[in-house]
Amino acid sequence: MPSNVEIKAIVHNLCHLTKRAKELSGSDGTVIRQQDTFFQIPAGRLKLRDFQDGRGQLIFYERPDREGPKLSNYSISSTDDPQGLINVLTDALGQVGQVKKERTLYMVGQTRVHVDSVDGLGDFMELEVVMKEHQSTEEGVAIANQLMLDLGVKKEDLIEGAYMDLLHKNKQNGHAS
């Protein structure tokens, strides 16, 4: 199963982060609009990512819900009928909820730097160090930590869990979007 080391952090200064990501990647990034629909499963997470252009991906992943760099194992399958698959999976499993975001992707070495604007939550940064076949988790964590420094991300800005968790937490605390 493929894996990556990933971190997620809240963004307080979007202009600074975007400027640093552009410098480090040597590009203006790629804008991707996504709607993720999460489904009820007993362990891990299952989501259908709809790219809003007729393409989608069914993604299963497992990772600990904690702050800082963490190993994530995942499986991905592409689809040309994301809405049809959402309907079938909703009927079969039930939905947990949906996350809508506009993501700008920057590639820095083997790391996917995502600058995300999430509906109902705000701005976030996610790093995914895509692990090479024989690379250790420790190497991935070291790359993530260095990139955090390079981007100016502080440890106190790190968050745990998924955007879906944050949306549910906001809803429970009466901060519905």
Q: What is the pLDDT of residue 94?
A: 98
Tokens for 111, please give them: 């790391």
Q: pLDDT, tens digit, for every residue of 100-114?
A: 999 999 999 999 999
DSSP letter, residue 69: -
All domains in the chain, ordered by first residue: 3-172 (2.40.320.10)
Given a cut of 80, whether residue 17 has pLDDT beyond it is: yes
Q: pLDDT, tens digit, for every residue of 64-76?
A: 888 888 889 999 9
Please provide the distance, in angstroms rounded to a whole number, between the alpha carbons at the two ends of the chain. 36
Tokens for 168, please give them: 């549910």
d(CA 63, CA 88): 25
Tokens for 147, please give them: 């990139």
Given a cut of 70, whether residue 77 has pLDDT beyond it is: yes
Instruction: Please report how the helices 137-151 and 14-25 are oriented relative to each other, as an axis angle in degrees rounded to 10.
Output: 120
Given a cut of 70, whether residue 39 has pLDDT beyond it is: yes
Indicate the pTM of the whole model.
0.89
Q: Where are the beta strands (DSSP E) in 109-163?
A: 111-118, 122-130
